[in-house]
């Protein structure tokens, strides 16, 4: 890649990171640092990092597959299968964060197969601040509702569907859908601003399984991105749905179906997971993509530098 990731993370005070670049159909990756400053276990290319809200693109992909198969329509009210929600709320609203559902509901509904069902029932009964389709309001909870919709339409738990429809067909090995799977791998832990490990590895399972719970390696995340670049049916997810969004501090200027739009032909997503940060930027026109996964809250400048090097000065938003 022409530079040392180890030197860069040291400069920015990031304990550990992975970077992967897809260009010319090939993926190159590099790992550096440690998974935890307590254990000093080194980061390798197959180690797992939380990808945070980049999980939402995986959920959007499952929804689109069901649409392509004729099992659902994006503008059909979700209450056809999920009672209690507003009559006008659709999957398109949820995918574009215009569903009017509060950003984060913290209902701990356990880790059993009915966690999403219980969580979604609780969201349906909660007060929603905006009517569907009226306001852009980023909502992790809305994507949990989408995860439950996937379960109902597929007749299986969300993560079983995720594995059967995406992880296994892509031949991915370094992907974990929960902590029980993650513990079988080298796993990054979160670090605070002081560079020390802090707190739990993730929020309660039921609050985020289809919104921000996945963990994987940078290389395997790019294998998923390659699917999007190769499959014309998935290009619809990158089409603009919301042309102006509030400043969320991440550079997004619009929204597709699950994808953030950064302008100048760049799409992607940013993920924040309790002390781990993940960054994905893709230029579909050139087939180029970059992933930066870190176990630190202090990694925006690191990602900015890497995007500048790979994508150019005009495509550096983080």
* pLDDT, tens digit, 9 for 90 and up, residues 131-140: 999 999 999 8
Say yes or no to pLDDT of 108 above 80.
Answer: no
Report the alpha-carbon distance of residue 48 to residue 187 in Å, rounded: 5
Region 5-29: what's the mean pLDDT? 96
CATH code of 5-52+178-204+213-311, in short, is 3.40.710.10
Tell me the pLDDT band of 1, cut-offs 50, 70 and 90: low
Helix (H, G, I), strand (E, B) or coil at 212: coil
Say yes or no to pLDDT of 50 above 60.
Answer: yes
Tell me the percentage of the chain whose pLDDT exceeds 70. 93
> Which residue from 12, 4, 16 is spatially nearest to 45, judged by alpha carbons?
16
> Are the C-beta atoms of 203 and 308 separated by less than 8 Å?
no
Compute the C-alpha angle 196/199/203, nearest 5°: 135
Catalytic member of 4, 36, 45, 53: 53
Instruction: Enumerate the domain spans of the chain.
Output: 5-52+178-204+213-311, 58-159
Distance between alpha carbon 6 and the CA centroid of its chain, in Å?
A: 25
* pLDDT, tens digit, 9 for 90 and up, residues 153-209: 999 999 999 999 999 999 999 899 888 888 999 999 998 888 889 877 766 665 555
Q: What is the enclosing helix (H) or strand (E) of 255? A: strand 254-255
Helix (H, G, I), strand (E, B) or coil at 125: helix
Distance between alpha carbon 123 and the CA centroid of its chain, in Å?
A: 21
Q: Which DSSP state fits 197?
A: B
* pLDDT, tens digit, 9 for 90 and up, residues 204-232: 665 555 556 799 999 999 999 999 999 99
Say yes or no to pLDDT of 278 above 90.
Answer: yes
pLDDT, residue 174, reads: 87
Active site residue 141: no
Report the alpha-carbon distance of residue 236 to residue 303 in Å, rounded: 27
């Amino acid at each position: 890649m022409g530079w040392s990731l180890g030197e860069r993370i040291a400069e920015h005070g990031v304990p550990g990171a992975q970077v992967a670049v897809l260009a010319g159909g090939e993926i190159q990756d590099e790992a550096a640092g440690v998974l935890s400053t307590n254990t000093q276990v080194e980061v390798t290319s197959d180690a797992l990092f939380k990808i945070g809200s980049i999980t939402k693109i995986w959920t959007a992909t499952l929804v689109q597959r069901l649409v392509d198969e004729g099992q659902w329509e994006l503008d059909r009210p979700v209450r056809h299968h999920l009672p209690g929600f507003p009559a006008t709320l659709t999957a398109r609203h949820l995918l574009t964060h215009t569903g009017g559902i509060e950003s984060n509901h913290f209902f701990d509904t356990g880790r059993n197969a009915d966690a999403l069902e219980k969580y979604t029932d609780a969201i349906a009964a909660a007060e929603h601040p905006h009517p569907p389709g009226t306001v852009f309001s980023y909502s992790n909870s809305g994507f949990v509702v989408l995860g439950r919709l996937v379960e109902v339409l597929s007749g299986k738990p969300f993560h079983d569907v995720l594995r059967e429809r995406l992880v296994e067909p892509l031949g991915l090995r370094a992907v974990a859908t929960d902590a029980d799977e993650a513990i079988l791998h080298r796993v990054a832990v979160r670090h605070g601003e002081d560079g020390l490990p802090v707190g739990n590895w993730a929020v309660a399972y039921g609050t985020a399984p289809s919104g921000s719970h996945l963990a994987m390696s940078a290389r395997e995340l790019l294998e998923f991105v390659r699917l999007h670049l190769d499959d014309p049916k998935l290009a619809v997810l990158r089409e603009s749905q919301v042309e102006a969004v509030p400043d969320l501090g991440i550079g997004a200027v619009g929204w597709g179906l699950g994808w953030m739009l950064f302008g100048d032909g760049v799409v992607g997503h940013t993920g924040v997971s309790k002390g781990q940060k993940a960054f994905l930027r893709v230029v579909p026109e050139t087939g180029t993509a970059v992933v930066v996964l870190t176990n630190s809250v202090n990694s925006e400048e690191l990602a900015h530098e890497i995007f500048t090097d790979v994508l150019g000065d005009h495509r550096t938003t983080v």
